[in-house]
Amino acid sequence: MAIHTVRFSHQGRIQWGLVSKSLITPLPGEFATTADFIRGHEVGALREFAASSAAGSATLRLDEVQILSPLTRNQQFLCQGANYRQHMIESGMDPDAKSYNMIFTKATSCIVPAHSDLVKPAHVRFLDYEIELGLILKRDVLARTVVTDANLHEFVAGLVIVNDYSARDIQIPQTQFYKGKSFRTFGPVGPFLCLLSPQDMKYLGKLQLTLTVNGQVRQKDTTANLVFGPAETLTELSGVQDLHVGDLLSTGTPAGCALSVPSPFKQRMGALLPEATKWAIFNKVQEGRQQYLKAGDVVEARIQSPDGAIDLGVQRNKVVGAT
């Protein structure tokens, strides 16, 4: 059975705890980083602690603590792009013909708690949302390694909600994924870190993602529609770089973003135009998209399994202007 945990601050002390409904059971010990927490806890032992008398003797309400990001800023923030079938189709790609896994990173300074304000930089015109399922790694991977569905539980410790906020007018015209997605507050993570047992891995292909803006559903899909799954992605990444316990892999976003992508035909025609003309047309099209975020908008993201066994909580961000 999966175990839901939270990192929080209470009376000046940063702690980790078990979450059940609206209550937190603080865990003993100090764990400065996500890696420290993962190394120090196994799902079975946490389940035993939850059932113990020690756990029942002290609880806190979620609304009386400050919830922090379960991902600490020392960890890597790795991302997949265009990884849901319908999102690829609306982006002018064929998911059945895709032969590469799009990988990029976000600056760890963009990581904030789940309920943080989203600060819209004054010069950013096209601010977009991207709900994503995040995988928190369980072990170091320092050489090329074959990860399969059968051994995936050895590599994935748990799950979090990520919102990969993006400044499309930086990301697209400048071809700057890193810069367009790394402004401060553009990477809320949490609120909960759900730790998985080997038996819980079956849920990775069944989770439901829902994102709303001001109560209106903008994105809704299931992880059954991922193009590159966790096992093959981790295998590929292991052949490129070192991965470490506690690192985050954000697995891509479903269809429904504010960004309007030209059809493949229009993209080919646009490639023949002078750069200034091409991007002037792009900007004009995006200006007509009312879906882009503005100050005062409230974005909510939820990820859960149909049976409720996994519920990563609600991530809520209000858009504010830069001061």
pLDDT digits (tens, 9 = 90+) for 242-251: 999 999 999 9
Is the model more confident about 94 or about 137?
A: 137
CB 248 within 8 A of CB 282: no
Helix (H, G, I), strand (E, B) or coil at 213: strand
Can you tell me the distance from the alpha carbon of 307 to that of 284, in angstroms, rounded to the nearest whole number? Answer: 44
Using the predicted structure, report yes or no on whether residue 92 has a pLDDT greater than 80: no
Distance in angstroms (rounded) separating the CA atoms of residues 257 and 225 = 16
Say how far apart CA 5 and CA 34 lie, in whole Å: 12
Q: What pLDDT is attached to residue 267?
A: 66
pLDDT(270) > 70: no
DSSP, res 154: G
pLDDT in tens, 163-221: 999 999 999 989 899 999 999 999 999 999 999 999 999 999 999 999 999 999 999 99
- Bond into 26 cis (ω within 30): no
Average pLDDT, the chain: 93
Note the pTM of the prediction, 2 decimals: 0.95
* Averaged pLDDT, 38-57: 84
